[in-house]
Each structure stands twice: as structure tokens, then as C-alpha cells.
A and B are shown apart, each in its own frame.
Chain A
Amino acid sequence: MIRRRLPVFSMLLAALATASGLCAAAAQAAETRPWAEILKAAEGQTVYWNAWGGDERINAYIAWVRDQVKQNFSIDLQHVKLTDTADAVSRVLAERAAGKKEDGAIDLIWINGENFAAMKDKQLLYGPFTKVLPNFDLVDFDNKPSTLVDFTVPTEGYEAPWGMAKLNFIYDSARVEKTPGSIPELLDWAKTYPGRFTYPAPPDFLGSTFLKQVLIELAPDPAFLQAPVENDSQVEQVARPLWQYLDALHPHLWRGGKGFPASGPAQRQLLDDGEVDITLSFYPSEASSAIANDLLPETARTFVLDKGTIGNTHFVAIPFNAKAVEGALVVTNFLMSPKAQAVKQSPEAWGDDTVLALSKLSDGDRQLFATLPRGDATLSPEELGPTLLEPHPSWMTRIEAEWQQRYAR
């Protein structure tokens, strides 16, 4: 199988030498081809979509998308299930390290936040491409600014939005009478009911989001968080209330704060098993959706915090060396279509809010959204409260590292 009969060592050195020659940035050029041309080129392509695969309902939705694009665009969509999106970043990097400028293994990545910032910074992304996508114009840029600014990093056309997330809490109303309305109240609640609350271990995105929620709510001046970290003493100062809070909270957590669930869905299972009373979620309709899928009891309900919770947008991006660029573009455009967005928002499926502006849609398309059931466990948009902005990714990196330092040793 080793066709070239080179000694092993020289092969390896050659690999590394070639790789070093490619250190220079990969070519990045704006996508400008007409849509019809892209559609045609996309036919018959296989698109490998690397997307977090930790939630069965989301996987089922992606399977639905796969069937749709097969039917409508003759694209063979393959869901490559990740446990962590960073795996995909790592993969693209390994490919560039080996000088693989084209025919990469990944065509599309479900991404946002720190992973996007890292890939954009390292010029590992294809694009800008969003301008050629017909459905991109339907996005609600005015009311959903996070569709253009991802964790304070401008997307600049390197990723396309396909869903809105907002931190919320799910509880079992059969066991919990009064839910906490703020981060300090949550601590009191945890003290009253020891062992009944926890959060997923960072760097799981829900766990990290919980940390950011505490950070924003307790920081003396949250405005700092919108700019990159300046220096250590700034982090130390801004984050001090966070660590004081967690130090106080952890002894009252599930397992005494010594162990944490691996992910949001894992914590949802704990809620269903009765091991905890509250779980975290990013999708406003998750509770309803989980009830519909027999994953939570009928008595599950949602609550949010009075001063608002963190919200963000999730995106898809295309690696610089993607093999099926056209296919990836067509899938992306489909993900932003009213049909795909409406199915996604349905609690029967996933329950993830749309990125589209309903006002920009045709009457027929608008109707798709109007008829969606809300589900008993879903809060109305008014009840969901204000959306807090994500801090700059550099804060996240620092805080996740500090969390490991403090609590994972």
C-alpha cells in the first residue's frame, strides 16, 4: 500500500517540509458565481457536514434536511457527527498541515463563537460567500444583530446563520414550586435544595454559556466583555465575582460540585431520572420538544432570568479546502429557506428559533410559522425576556481555562 518506496523517515520529513511551505495563508476569494451555475455544479455532489451530534432531535432534523436536499438538489448530504465542534477545526488544521489545499474531508461545519473566531483568524474558511445565497436576504439583521456579529466577531460573509439560541432553564414543575429569577437567587435555591442543580462541564457550550451568564450578571461593568481581553488584571477584576459565586455554589451542586454532566442532553437525562431538578437549554422550545419525544415528563416547564439571558446565533461555514463547495452553498441556502426554518422551529422537530424576518417572507411562507404549535412548556417571546449579548471569545477562552484551573484538578 505504500506505493512510493521511500524510507519511512524521508517520507515523514517530506511531509513536514511540504507542510511548512504551506504556512502562508490559503487563498481566500469571495464567491461571486451566479446562483444558477452553483446549483448546477452542486448536483450529484456529496457534502460532508460536520455538526455536533449530541442531541438526537437535532440529528433527526439533519436527517430530514439530508432527505430534502437529496430530493430537491440531488445532493448527497452526510452528517459527520461531532462530540465537539473543535474536532472539525482540528481536522481542517491537520489537513493544511499536510498541504491538502483542496479535496478536504469537510465541506460544511456547524459553528459559532470561539471556533469561528479561531478559523477566521487562521484563514481556514472559504468565502466570503453569503452574498450569493438567495435566502440570505431574508435574514432578520435588524432585530437579530447576532446574525452578523458572532460573539462580537463580525461574520463578514464567512458563515451563514441558520438558528437562534437563547439560554433558558428547564425544570420539573412536579418537584419545583418556585424557580429562581436571577443568578444570586439561583445560589439561594441551590442552598435550599442541595444536590438538585448542576451545569455541564465547560468547554461544553451550555456549561460555558452558564459561566458567561453568571459573569455578565455579576460583573460590575459588563461593557468590558464586548471588547477583547486587555490584560490579566482586567480578567482578574472582571471575573472575580464569577469565581466567588461558583466557590459558593459548587458545594451545593449535584455530586457536591465534584462531577459535572458531559453535556446539555446528559443533564436533561438527569432531570428526567430525577437526579436534578433543573437543566439548561439553548432552544426555547426544547422542553416542549423533549416532552413530545418522551424525553421529559409532561410536567417539564421553562423559565428564564428576569434580567435576561444570553442569546446567540449559530451558523454554518465552509472550510477553505472543501471539496464540494457548491453543494455546501446549496445546503446552506436550503437551511435558511422558510420551509427548513419552519420545520426546525417546530417543537415536534427541534424547537430552534428562526433567523428569518417574518416580514420579509411571502404570505404563504409566513403562514408556515404562524401555524406552528408552541407547546405547553414553551415561553412566549415576551416571557423569554431580554437577550444578553455574548462576550468576546477571548473572554470565553480565559474563563474556560481558569475554570479548568480551579475546578477540574
Chain B
Amino acid sequence: MPRRGLLAYLPALTLALFLAPVATGLVGTWLPAFGYFPTLGGDSLTLKSWFVLFAQPGLGESLRLTILSGFLATLIAFLLTILLLAACHGGRLILVLRGLMAPLIAVPHAAVALGLAFLIAPSGWLVRLVSPWATGWQLPPDVATVQDPNALALTFGLVVKELPFLLLMTLAALEHVRAEERLAVARSLGYGPVTAWLKAVLPAVYRQIRLPLYAVLAYALSVVDMALILAPLTPPPLAVQVLRWFNDPDLSMRFVAAAGASLQLLIVAGSIALWRLGEIVVERLGRAWIAGGRRGGNGRITRLLTICLVQGIVALAAAGLLGLALWSVTRRWRYPDVLPSAFSLETWARQAPEVAAIAGTTLATGLAAAAIALVLVLGCLENEQRRGLSLTNRALWLLYTPLLVPQVAFLFGTQVLAIQVGIDATWLALVWSHLLFVLPYVFLTLGDSYRALDERYARTALCLGARPNRVFWQVKLPMLLRPVLFALAVGFAVSVTQYLPTLFAGGGRFVTLTTEAVGLAAGGDRRVIGVYAFLQALLPLLGFAGALALPQLLLGPRAQRRNLQAAA
């Protein structure tokens, strides 16, 4: 059976496809960091670039911003997640929020950031709502609410974007730890709802969400696109500064950039280690707290507070996106007008050819990357099932590698490699670079559903005389249609979000809605930003809508017949 032979190689191929570029990229960045980059005359290993790096003006401030926003955002998103779940476990609200979070998770970081930027700016929507009648501000106040010196706007943006991710990951984890039973036992022993959750469920859930949490921390510490929009510029957080050094016309700065990229990796690794240390300390304290036996109150205040906060966050994100949509059809909208004074579809009309081309690239790249990832993941999962393997903890870490290693720490090295292989600035390289980040998400999305499918279906089919391939195509795949399409939509959304990989691998030749929106962010015309950012948010949402609607459509005739029969 040739197919089975191919299938056996798939996991190795998949790993190679997404780990080899990361590994070689890291080495290709470390070598210049230690002075080895012959083209620029660096042919011996030295520490010189590290000294230059540490002498860079503003490096300390960059590091402060990076670490502050990274830790603060992760911590806030995490606390909100667990407090919300603790306070509202099993309630209807969780379902409502889950429904609201799913679209939010699909909206690219850049669009969220651009929406927020307009919302919270001194001349933004929030101030306009109350000015000048309530505030007396005829002109916007001179307060840095965006690009503020402590990167709080960036922190807030990260919280908005990471909260849905953590919430959904935690909800998924809850299904693995028999949360209901744990909670019931704790409640029957007289514990208040929040305390019961924190003492009986959290310790088990935390183990499950540790990796996603590290991924959030790593992301928050090395984000570029959101930082370009929300973080201060003079100096910016480290990842943005590294990108600047890579692009410095003084070519010797490339060594410093490589050292900075390596420093970024160290920061992320160190931060994860620090977080781990924090876990151990909190665990110690937590044990004592749990052993103390205090039952806690009814949790009404916690509940009220977290619900308000989370709903506020969702509302702000939604308002930001609405603002973008509104800007895209605006002709004139000056401070302090609450709504545009003149509407026009001119921006859309003028940008139409450009937008069509860019949206086309975004769509094609996203679909290709998601489809390839899906094929690989399905192959790996099917192989896993046929051979009775199960994903080890170590393999899970491998899977998370591209999400834990900062992009800026290896993309330069990967680019040099891509040039050497001769695929640089090609669509192939672009899709491949997206694949690195799409694959893990598709795997994480589909893995559980795939493994959850009752294996007796497959056994029954085999005993009915169907070959394994037929079982795969005619039984498993149709039965898993929903999760498969959902994973495809997730993969697509992840691809749309990619900024740095598009920049590096696309060689500027391939422009996506994300690179365009972020590129325009520095330029100012909010009407045009509105067009691109709105579309950038819309495309992944359409993907999810499609993933939900398609099964209905495909199974439609039978579903209809079912209704008729039920009526008869």
C-alpha cells in the first residue's frame, strides 16, 4: 500500500517543514550576532556586536517597555480569564462570551490595534463622545493615551487580543479535567463558587493551559505589528528596535540587529523561566491557601467586576472595529464630531483595484497555507491513529516551538537561507513562512476532535470491508467535517494575521492586508486605514462564517428531509 508508506513519513516531513526553517533561521541569526557574516567582512567570531548592542541609546528603555508590557499583558489576560471562569462557571454568560470571543480571536492583531488606537487617542472616539460639552475640550487634550511612555496602550491592546485566546484554550482544557465534578465536591463542602473553582479546578486546569500561556507571554514580549501602532517610538520595544536595526542603511548595524534578535530570544526564554519560577512560588503559597480551608464568599463582587471588565474589553474591541468601518466610508470626520460630517464611498472606489489585488494575495496565501497545513495535520493524525501513537508532551513542545520562539529572532536567518535556496520573495516562500505558524494552530484545533471521534466507527467500517483509505475519506472526514472546516478557518485567520513573516519572506513583493494596514498606520489617512483594517478583520470572520455555514449547506438536503419527516 503506497499510501500507508507515504503516511508514515508525514510526521517527519511536517516537523521538518516547520522546524527546519526555525532552526536554521536561529543559527543564521546567531552567526552574525557573533560577528560571522562574510559578506559584510565579518569572518571571525567576536563579541563586538554585543558590546555595540549594549551601548545603543535607549536599549534599557526598550527592554523596560518590552518586559513591562509583556508581563503585564500576560498577567492581566490570565487573571481575567481565570477570574471570569471562576466567577461564571457553567453560567449562560460564559456561552455568550464564548460566542463573542470566537470572532474576536479571528480578528488580526493589527486591526484590533488600529481600532483601539482611534478609539482611545486624545482625539479619538471616546473623547469625542464627551467633548466638548462635558469636558470643555475644544481641542484634544495633550495626553499620551496612545504610544504612551509606559506602553500601557500596547499592554491593553495585547490583553484585548490575548484574552479570547486564553479563554477559549482554558474552556477547552476544562473539558479534560472533570471540572463539574471537582466543583460539585468543593461546593458541597461549603466553598463559595469562586473559591471552589480556584482551589479545586484551577490547579488541574493550569497544567493544561501552561503552554498556551507561555505562547502568550512569548508573543506579548516580541510583538511587532501591534507595537508599531500602539507602543512609543522613541525608543520602541526591543522587537521593533531590532527590526529597525536590520533595516538600518548603515550596514554594520546588521550585526547589532542579529545580536538584538538573539537578545530577544534570551529575553523570552528568561521570561518563561521567570514565569515558571513564579508558578512554583504561587503553587507553594496556593497549597497553603488551599490547606487553610477558608471557604470564601459568594463571589458576587468578583463576578460583577470581571464581567464588567471583560464585557468592557469586548465592547471596546467591537467599537474599534466599528470605528474602522465607519472611517472607510467617511469623507470628512473632524474632532470633535461624534460622527462623520460627510460620508462617501470614494475611498473604497479609489482603492478598489489595489484592495482587490491585495485581498486576493491575502486570500490565496491564507487558503494555501491553511490547506497545506490541514493535509499535513490530517495525515499526521491519521498516521497517529493507524499506528496507535499518541502525542507526547515533548512533541507538544515541538509543536509550540514557532509560537514560543520570537519571530524576529529567526526570520532574518531564514531569509538568508531562502535566498540561497532560490525561493526568496516567491509565493512559495510566503506560503511556507505562514505555514510555520498556521500548522501548530491547525494541529491544536483539530487534534482533540480527531482523537475524540469514536474509534469504533472506523472499526465497524473496516469490518464491513472498507479499506483504511476509504474509511478515512468516507467515514472519518465527513463525520469530522465541522472541526475540519473550523481548523481550516483558524489556519486561514492565523495566516491573515502574519506581519513579520510576510515582510521577510514576501520580500516586499507580496503585500497582504496586514502589511498594508500596518504600513499605512504610520501614514495617517484614517479613511484608507479603515478600508484595509476593516477588510483585514472581515476576511477571517468570513472564513469562520463559511466554516459554520458550509456543513449546513452540504448536509442541507438531508437536514431538510429530516425536518419534513419530523413534521409528517
Contact = CB atoms under 8 A, between A and B. Distances in A.
Contacts of B122: 275
B524 A259 contact: no
Contact of B251 (A48, A53, A122): A122
Nearest to B529: A56
B16 interface: yes
B416 A97 contact: yes
Interface in B135-168: 138-140, 142, 144, 147-149
B297 interface: no
B354 interface: yes
A317 to B, nearest CB: 13
B479 interface: no
A148 B341 CA distance: 47
A273 B335 contact: yes
Contacts of A4: 421
Contacts of A272: 334
A294 B343 CA distance: 12
Given A86-B247, A106-B508, A11 B522 contact: no
Contacts, number: 207
Interface in B500-532: 507-509, 511, 516, 519-520, 522-526, 528
Interface in B235-257: 235, 246-251, 254
A63 interface: yes
Secondary structure call for the A interface:
helix
Contacts of A96: 39
A320 to B, nearest CB: 14
B345 to A, nearest CB: 14
B251 A15 contact: no
B37 A260 contact: no
Contacts of A82: 508, 519
Contacts of A91: 507-508
Contacts of B413: 12
A90 B27 contact: no
A149 interface: no
Interface stretch (B55-63, B90-98, B192-200, B287-295): B55-63
Nearest to A270: B123
Interface stretch (B17-25, B398-406, B449-457, B460-468): B17-25
Interface string B300-337: 00000000000000000000000000000001101100
Interface stretch (B101-109, B175-183, B424-432, B557-565): B424-432
B40 interface: yes
B234 A259 contact: yes
Given A98-B419, A275-B139, A409 B39 contact: no
Contacts of B27: 9, 12
B523 A55 contact: yes
A19 interface: yes
Given A100-B419, A258-B149, A409-B57, A8 B20 contact: yes
Interface string A17-31: 111101100000000
B508 to A, nearest CB: 4
B249 A115 contact: yes
B38 A20 contact: yes
B38 A2 contact: no
Contacts of B17: 1
A89 interface: yes
A54 B522 CA distance: 7
A400 to B, nearest CB: 10
A86 B249 contact: yes
Interface string A64-98: 00000000000000101111101111110111111
Nearest to B432: A1
A58 to B, nearest CB: 9
B41 interface: yes
A273 B336 CA distance: 8
Nearest to A99: B420
Interface string B97-126: 000000000000000000000000111000
Contact of B144 (A83, A89, A258): A258
A115 B17 CA distance: 36
B38 A19 contact: yes
A105 B508 contact: yes
Contacts of B525: 55-56, 265, 269, 295
B420 A14 contact: yes
A408 B250 contact: no
Interface string A264-301: 01101100111100000000000000000011010000
A118 B508 contact: no
A295 B330 CA distance: 11
B224 to A, nearest CB: 12
A275 B419 contact: no
Contacts of A266: 522-524
A114 interface: yes
Given A19-B39, A258-B149, A263 B524 contact: yes
B461 to A, nearest CB: 34
B31 interface: yes
Contacts of A15: 28, 416-417, 419-420
B448 interface: no
A23 B24 contact: no
A81 B519 contact: yes
B49 interface: no
B523 A53 contact: yes
A378 interface: no
B417 A11 contact: yes
Given A1-B17, A11-B24, A54-B519, A98 B416 contact: yes
A409 B251 CA distance: 22
Contacts of A55: 523-525
Given A80-B508, A260-B233, A274 B123 contact: yes
A50 interface: yes
Contacts of A115: 249
Most chain B CB within a 10 A radius of its CB, from A19, A88, A405: A19
A366 interface: no
Contacts of B36: 16
A204 to B, nearest CB: 9
Nearest to B39: A97
Nearest to A20: B38
A375 interface: no
Contacts of B283: none
A60 interface: yes
Contact of A408 (B23, B234, B342, B421): B234
Given A259-B144, A275-B140, A95 B419 contact: yes
A275 B332 contact: no
Contacts of B524: 54-55, 263, 265-266, 268-269, 295
B522 A83 contact: yes
A294 B331 contact: yes
Given A22-B39, A260-B234, A404-B57, A56 B523 contact: yes
Interface in B346-362: 350, 353-354
Nearest to A90: B247
B28 A84 contact: no
Interface string B36-57: 1111110100000000000001
A407 interface: yes
A274 B523 contact: no
B519 A405 contact: no
Contacts of A126: none
Interface string A323-353: 0000000000000000000000000000000
Interface string A300-329: 000000000000000000000000000000
Interface of A: 1-2, 4, 8-9, 11-12, 14-20, 22-23, 48, 50, 53-56, 60, 63, 78, 80-84, 86-91, 93-100, 105-106, 114-115, 118, 122, 195, 201, 254-256, 258-260, 262-263, 265-266, 268-269, 272-275, 294-295, 297, 397, 401, 404-409
22 contacts: A1-B17, A2-B421, A16-B38, A20-B38, A20-B39, A23-B39, A53-B519, A54-B524, A60-B350, A80-B508, A122-B251, A255-B142, A265-B524, A266-B523, A268-B524, A295-B525, A404-B58, A408-B61, A408-B235, A409-B57, A409-B60, A409-B235
